[in-house]
C-alpha cells in the first residue's frame, strides 16, 4: 500500500491561509485595518493596506514569504504554520483548477 509523504499529509490538517489569517486576527481582537497598521509598524514597510489583508482573507492573493514572516509575528502564530497554510491554499487552488479543467473536458 502506498503511503502519502509526510508533508502531503501535514497540510491536509492545516487550514488554508484564507481561514488562518481572519481566525488569528479575530483572536487577537484586530480589525483588518489594525492588522495592516501593525504589519506596517513592525516591518517598517508601509506597503500593506487593509485592502491587501482583505485580499489575503478572501483568497484573491496569497501573501509571499516576506509578509508571511510578519503575519506570524503580528498574530503570534508559528511561522511554519503560516507557511503550511499558504501551501494548503495553493493546493486547494490547484485542485479547484484541475476540477474545472476536468469538467470542461467532460462536457465537450
CA dist 51 to 36, 47, 54, 57, 95, Å? 9, 11, 5, 10, 26
pLDDT of residue 8: 44
**Averaged confidence pLDDT in the chain:** 86
Q: Is 76 helix (H, G, I), strand (E, B) or coil?
A: coil
pLDDT tens digit sequence for 59-90: 999 999 999 999 999 999 999 999 999 999 99
Q: Which of 10-14, 21-25, 52-56, 58-62 has the lowest mean pLDDT?
A: 10-14
pLDDT of residue 12: 53
Across the range 44-63, mean pLDDT stands at: 97
What long-range pairs does 20-24 form, CB within 8 A, spacing at least 24?
20/77, 20/81, 20/82, 20/85, 21/53, 21/56, 21/57, 21/71, 21/75, 21/85, 22/57, 24/75, 24/76, 24/77
pLDDT of residue 4: 42
Amino acid at each position: 500500500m502506498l503511503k502519502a509523504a509526510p508533508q502531503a499529509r501535514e497540510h491536509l490538517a492545516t487550514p488554508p491561509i484564507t481561514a488562518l489569517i481572519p481566525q488569528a486576527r479575530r483572536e487577537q481582537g484586530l480589525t483588518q485595518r489594525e492588522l495592516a497598521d501593525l504589519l506596517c509598524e513592525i516591518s517598517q514597510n508601509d506597503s500593506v493596506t487593509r485592502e491587501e489583508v482583505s485580499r489575503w482573507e478572501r483568497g484573491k492573493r496569497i501573501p509571499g514569504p516576506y509578509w508571511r514572516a510578519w503575519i506570524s509575528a503580528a498574530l503570534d502564530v508559528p511561522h511554519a504554520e503560516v507557511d503550511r497554510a499558504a501551501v494548503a491554499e495553493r493546493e486547494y487552488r490547484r485542485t479547484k483548477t484541475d476540477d474545472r479543467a476536468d469538467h470542461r473536458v467532460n462536457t465537450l
